[in-house]
A and B are shown apart, each in its own frame.
Chain A
């Protein structure tokens, strides 16, 4: 059975801290790994990673995939209260199928 596991499940930090969120996977047909941010409703797309070792960056957020370790990390530097959300990791395992992890609930305190 395809499986995606995120850690930690919950994280509380102070504004300005740097956080690292983890995602590991065990799947039979890896195509890509995606990160989403979910605030109140719709998850919004952050990154798609297909190649190992190539960092993707958007402002204070960055992510990298390690296909040897079957994992990915999402880094957020200089966190702000607006970064508070659930961060979802998903692996594409076939042309149309995403398998999601449980999510990491990140809370940034002022």
Chain B
């Protein structure tokens, strides 16, 4: 069966520091991969998605970037964090071109001080 791993679970970083959050999927090949952010009390906002290695689509221009160096690995990065980057970051995967549910990892709670 498929599993998705995200780490770290929580992270506290100072403003201006870099960021790297990692997500890996097991048990499936060529998944679609997604990064979402969930602000407190709000729904999920899609940040990036990827349909294959090296293919990244950005939904919201901002201080973050994403990379997919391997088929089942998705990385969210920032060179310099802002206070507004605080939130709950969720990675998700799905298979196929559409009409398939996305499945989520346990998330990373990021606090910027």
Contacts from A to B (Cβ < 8 Å)? 4, 6, 31-32, 34, 36, 41-45, 48, 50, 88, 90, 92, 94-103
Contact = CB atoms under 8 A, between A and B. Distances in A.
B32 A96 contact: yes
A interface: dominant SS? strand
B26 interface: no
A96 B45 contact: no
Interface string B86-98: 0000100010011
Q: Which 6 A-B pairs have the closest CB atoms?
A: A100-B43, A41-B106, A95-B98, A42-B104, A100-B44, A45-B101
Interface of B: 32, 34, 41-46, 49, 51, 57, 59, 90, 94, 97-99, 101-107
Given A100-B44, A101-B43, A42 B99 contact: no
Given A41-B107, A43-B104, A45-B101, A96 B51 contact: yes
